[in-house]
Amino acid sequence: KARGYCLAEVASVRAELPICENIDDKDWKDVCYFNIAKLTNKSEICEDISNSAFSDDCFDSLARKTKYGASCGFIRDSIKKDQCFLTVAVAISDENLCHEMNNPEFGWTCFQRIAKVKKSFKICDFISYDFAHERCYEAVNETIAKSQ
């Protein structure tokens, strides 16, 4: 364990991925991959993490940091994936990412938040649930009224 920790630290300081591959302990190897992925902003390194929850955290962390929504698509946990898409979509005001969500409520929230930012009723039209659609229109109206 101590050797794994030491190698993971050295790899992180040097930002050298090959050092991670020399770690025998799978937990420290995962930590090493996670650290290098974050340092280099390379989400493909997250694929090498054996623990699925930790791998999901890696993809989520990088997607939020780089604002690159495609990284969210690699997250296995569906709730975490939807939260990732929601966060990135709102951060970059890209309603196209809202379509990637599995849970309709996350999608509605996503469309509404971006519609408010863009002051666009058209984005509300992507919401099929009547109540949420109406609420989106109301939210956009309120945003427009406040900005005048």
- Those residues whose C-beta lies under 8 Å from the C-beta of residue 66, and which sit 6 or more positions away, are 41, 43
Amino acid making up residue 25: D
Residue 116 predicted with pLDDT over 90: yes
Residue 42 predicted with pLDDT over 90: yes
Amino acid making up residue 11: A
Both structure tokens of 7: 């190698």
Residue 35 predicted with pLDDT over 90: yes
How does the average pLDDT of the chain come out, rounded? 95
Tens of pLDDT, residue by residue over 49-102, are: 999 999 999 999 999 999 999 999 999 999 999 999 999 999 999 999 999 999
Residue 36's nearest CA partner among 2, 9, 75, 5 is 9
- Alpha-carbon distance of 70 to 119, in angstroms, equals 25
Residue 106's nearest CA partner among 72, 67, 55, 138 is 72
Residue 1 predicted with pLDDT over 80: no
- Alpha-carbon distance of 148 to 146, in angstroms, equals 6
Rounded to an integer, the average pLDDT of 131-146 is 96
Confidence band for 2, pLDDT divided at 50, 70 and 90: confident
